[in-house]
Amino acid sequence: MISRRHFLQAGMAASALYGASGFGNWGRLAAQQALTQNDLLDFQTSGNVTLMHITDIHAQLMPVHFREPEINIGVGDVIGKPPHVTGADFRKLYGIEDGSAADYALTYDDFTSLAQTYGRMGGADRISTVLKSIRADRPDALLLDGGDTWQGSLTALRTNGQDMVNIFNALGTDAMTSHWEFTLGIDRVMEIVENELNFPFLGANIFDTEWDERAFEPYKMFERGGVQIAVIGQAFPYMPIANPKWMFPELSFGVRQENMAEVVAEVRGKGAELVVLLSHNGFDVDRKLAANVDGIDIILTGHTHDALPEPVLVNKTYLIASGSHGKFVTRLDLDVRDGEMKGINHRLIPIFTDVIAPDPEMTALVDAQRAPFQSELTEVIGKTDSLLYRRGNFNGTWDDLICNALIDEREADIALSPGFRWGASVLPGADITREDIFNATAMSYPEAYRSEMTGETLHVILEDVADNLFNPDPYYQQGGDMVRVGGMGYRIDINKPQGERITEMTLLKTGELIDPAKTYVVAGWASVNEGTEGPPIWEVVENFIKREGTVTVDPNTSVKVVGA
Amino acid sequence: MKFTRRETMLMALGATAAAMLPARAMANVDDLVAAFTGGADIGEGGLTLTAPEIAENGNTVPIEVDAPGAVSIMVLATGNPTPGAATFNFGPLSGSQSASTRIRLAKTQNVLAVAKMADGSFVQVSQEVKVTIGGCGG
């Protein structure tokens, strides 16, 4: 673990580099004190290059509540290291006071009450204000988007990502990389990339399956402050495995570590003095990549939705984690001289909706994207008595609700909901609007299937997904959190090899152990299989909530975790 | 609707279990290596095997082997019912001693490459390739 003090020491020891990081004033402001926009934006402009990083916004143009995970287990070499630190341990590591604004923004405890105090976070119009303020100091600051931008809301779904393309063009984005973008289908992606995007769509690890040739630009060179900067893009490596391959059948991805080393050598050969990797690998994969590939100064991480108040130094590479859902923008001021990085000044800027003034131009543009769908978005479907959230390795109340809906509406014994990390939270006592439901379900393969599976098949599935999360080598981890299970409990020993992690699978309605030979009715959604049939999941969830009126999600105690 | 077993597992975000390697196949791998090396000791280094960590499609997994100075490189898919995947021979006029191909992997397993060098020595390298049906990508 690198505390702030250690980060600074490590930084200096590594390359006589100077640096600063942390919260500024806002992190220490007590709940009763009013935060001001200045507290958030006050920053000593330094060096000659400024980078601004946004990632994993998941189409959230409007301010949201988003609860960070309680359970985020690290395995192998990363046990107990950021980002695998949550709650009180996280606050201790970064010196965050309980009940402070930083506590609310970065950890999970007391989320509901702190949300009353600090309000929503994000909003494209607030983000725009922050970017404009940074550009006032450093007009040529680069804005880099780590992807998962065009998916995650009703409007992005209905417009095939057009709303997000319009907004990110208007924000003045300089480059992006990708993951969920490809679930719009390859034809739509190419249409956007070729005709609509004002900036490059980078992916050094995207190749065509037939000839193994590059399918997208691997990097883009920029000159800023007299410095040659290479921004290399790395798309989500497990795209055809974790998401439906049939939507982009001619593309191959992968970590491709050797390829990355070659690209870094190529850009250095072209005179890059600063090498930035705009990555959708996920934090642990980036940590390993940084250890194994020399020559990358900065990795702007993505995919795993981690928000870290300080960079993590690996080898000579600084890993930056800028959160998700529009909650944060990272500002990095870099001092690059004589072909190398001499200084780094970092700030994870929280987008407190009530503190940062909206940029009226951007408000108008966001309103224009939403106008055609306004009545659909705002329709109240029901109410919740429980906090609805998704993040966490095993279960979240949103997915518990979705599983309850699947079991009920589709008359199943057991329900499966994928371990996605996206989805805004809904506070207890609040109305559930159709927009809220889509924020947790909007994607292009939503069919809620109903099928029969043997106990043995269910075990194989859970073991496979568990290994994709808890394999000690991050290059063998495939992406999401654990599949959420309704109607069935199990015990998981995360340190066992694949095939031995999952035991005590129990059918909750009878309390009986799952029989490997017996057949169970299973309902689920988001199958990666082409031709899956069933109603879209949002319809299933909406019908369930309508019928219940007010939903309550009981605490989930059906997963026993061992070895964490 | 009806699903095949494979489709059912795809649908449910699941995949093949890492089954134990059958004893017969293992013996087969040892036999093939012994036949290739003539029982000589096998060292390490000088042979690179490039393969994906997780196969995007187990039916066609791209692999590449590279061993400067090698005269022959054998590639085995150790977990397949028939492990022999390829043997590349390089003549004296070969510009480089590297080759790439695509192999089929029945399940998660180690891919093993053994190279015979010009001086008659042998080196090997292996890498695990995970075959998963996936889903759940966050």
What single string gives the DSSP state of each residue in chain B?
----HHHHHHHTT-----PPPPHHHHHHHHHHHHHHHTT--EE-SS-EEE--SB-S-TTSEEEEEE-TTEEEEEEEETTSSS-EEEEEE--TT-S-SEEEEEE--SSSEEEEEEEEETTS-EEEEEEEEB--------
Separation in Å, CA of B17 to nearest CA in chain A? 6
Residue A53: CATH number of its domain = 3.60.21.10
Does residue A279 sit in the same domain as residue A401? no
Residue A303 in any domain: the answer is yes
**In angstroms, rounded to a whole number, what is the distance separating the alpha carbons of residues A537 and A484?**
15
B13 vs A contacts (CB less than 8 Å): 416, 418, 461, 464-465, 483, 524, 526-528
Does residue A425 sit in the same domain as residue A348? no
Separation in Å, CA of B128 to nearest CA in chain A? 9
Q: Is B132 in contact with A241 (Cβ distance < 8 A)?
A: yes
Which pLDDT does position B137 carry in this prediction?
A: 52
Q: Is A464 in contact with B53 (Cβ distance < 8 A)?
A: no
Separation in Å, CA of A285 to nearest CA in chain B? 12
Does residue A419 sit in the same domain as residue A335? no
Which pLDDT does position A3 carry in this prediction?
A: 43
Q: What is the pLDDT of residues A372-417, one digit of tens each?
A: 999 999 999 999 999 999 999 999 999 999 999 999 999 999 999 9
* Total domains present in chain A: 2
Single pTM value for the model: 0.92
Domain boundaries, chain B: 5-129
Q: Is B17 in contact with A499 (Cβ distance < 8 A)?
A: yes
Amino acid residing at B42: I
Residue A374 in any domain: the answer is no
Give the residue among A329, A373, A398 at the shortest CA–CA distance from A153: A373
A480, closest residue in chain B (CA to CA): B138
Helix (H) or strand (E) holding A143: strand A142-145
Residue from A209, A241, A416 whose CB has the most chain B CBs within 10 Å, to mutate: A241
Give the residue among A299, A263, A259 at the shortest CA–CA distance from A282: A299
Separation in Å, CA of B92 to nearest CA in chain A? 28
Residue B14 has its nearest CB partner, among A258, A421, A460, at A460
Does residue A342 sit in the same domain as residue A391? no
A499 vs B contacts (CB less than 8 Å): 17-19
Residue A419 in any domain: the answer is yes
Rg of chain B, C-alpha, whole Å: 17
Separation in Å, CA of A263 to nearest CA in chain B? 16
Residue B12 has its nearest CB partner, among A422, A473, A524, at A524
Q: What is the pLDDT of residues B19-47, one digit of tens each?
A: 344 455 556 899 999 999 999 999 999 99
DSSP letter, residue A180:
G
Q: Is A480 in contact with B136 (Cβ distance < 8 A)?
A: yes
B7 vs A contacts (CB less than 8 Å): 529
Q: Please give the residue range of the domain that contains residue A459.
A: 379-562
B6, closest residue in chain A (CA to CA): A529
Residue from A151, A459, A461 whose CB has the most chain B CBs within 10 Å, to mutate: A461
Does residue A276 sit in the same domain as residue A393? no
Whether A307 contacts A104, CB under 8 Å: no
Residue A461 has its nearest CB partner, among B12, B19, B56, at B12
Whether A107 contacts A91, CB under 8 Å: yes
Does residue A161 sit in the same domain as residue A307? yes
A251, closest residue in chain B (CA to CA): B56
Along the 138 residues of chain B, how does pLDDT read in single tens digits?
A: 444 554 554 444 433 333 344 455 556 899 999 999 999 999 999 999 999 999 999 999 999 999 999 999 999 999 999 999 999 999 988 889 999 999 999 999 999 999 999 999 999 999 999 998 766 555
The answer for residues whose C-beta is within 8 angstroms of residue B110's C-beta and 6 or more apart is: B78, B79, B126, B127, B128, B129
Separation in Å, CA of B19 to nearest CA in chain A? 8
Which pLDDT does position B89 carry in this prediction?
A: 96
Cis amide linkage into residue A83, ω under 30° from 0: yes
Domain-terminating residue out of A315, A340, A368? A368
Domain-terminating residue out of A342, A368, A394? A368
DSSP letter, residue A142:
E
Does residue A330 sit in the same domain as residue A268? yes
Amino acid residing at A280: H
B54 vs A contacts (CB less than 8 Å): 238, 241, 254, 475-476, 478
DSSP letter, residue A195:
I
Q: Cα–Cα distances in Å, from A17 out to A9, A297, A313, A344, A347?
A: 9, 12, 12, 8, 17
Q: Is A479 in contact with B137 (Cβ distance < 8 A)?
A: yes
**In angstroms, rounded to a whole number, what is the distance separating the alpha carbons of residues A275 and A298?**
7
Which pLDDT does position A1 carry in this prediction?
A: 37
* Regions of chain A with pLDDT less than 50: 1-15, 30-32
Enter the tokens of residue A344.
Answer: 């780094």
Residue A528: CATH number of its domain = 3.90.780.10
Q: Is A468 in contact with B132 (Cβ distance < 8 A)?
A: yes
Residue A242 has its nearest CB partner, among B5, B18, B134, at B134
B19, closest residue in chain A (CA to CA): A499
A419, closest residue in chain B (CA to CA): B136
User: What is the rounded (10 degree) CA torsion for A524, A526, A529, A532?
Assistant: 60
Residue from B7, B11, B59, B127 whose CB has the most chain A CBs within 10 Å, to mutate: B11
Domain covering B5-129, topology: Immunoglobulin-like (2.60.40)
Q: Is A467 in contact with B50 (Cβ distance < 8 A)?
A: no
Does residue A32 sit in the same domain as residue A158? yes
User: What angle in degrees, to the nearest 10, is found between the helix axes of A283-292 and A257-269?
Assistant: 60
B14 vs A contacts (CB less than 8 Å): 457, 460-462, 464-465
Residue A373 in any domain: the answer is no
Domain-terminating residue out of A341, A368, A395? A368
